[in-house]
Amino acid sequence: MPNIKSAKKRVQLSEVHNARNKAERSTLKTALKKFDAAAAEGNRTEAEGAYKVAVKTVDKAVAKGILHKNNAAHKKSALTLKLNAMN
């Protein structure tokens, strides 16, 4: 444990940021899994709704620094391809 006051504050802040990032990553994974489940089921209307939510969540993750923008572009591209492959 740090002895310097500012270092103690940094430890506390990093714990808060870590919890926030963990929650954001969990939300992102949930949105992606919901889309994958809807796509695997073959329900196009449900998949389109889940697609919109997933893309929005990916964009929010980029804005918050959870994902790199190229990684997000890759994920969104894969989602779009999967959605377009459905009949």
Q: What is the pLDDT of residues 33-43, one digit of tens each?
A: 999 999 999 99
Q: Which of helix, strand or coil describes residue 1?
A: coil
Closest listed residue to residue 76, CA positions, set 43, 45, 35: 35
Residues 6 or more apart from 66 whose CB is under 8 A from it?
21, 24, 25, 28
Please answer whether residues 43 and 83 qualify as being in contact, where contact means their C-beta atoms are separated by less than 8 angstroms.
Answer: no
pLDDT of 40-80, one tens digit each?
999 999 999 999 999 999 999 999 999 999 999 999 999 99
Domain that includes residue 20, residue range: 5-85
How many domains are there within the chain?
1
CATH classification at residue 66: 1.20.58.110
Predicted TM-score (pTM) of this structure: 0.86
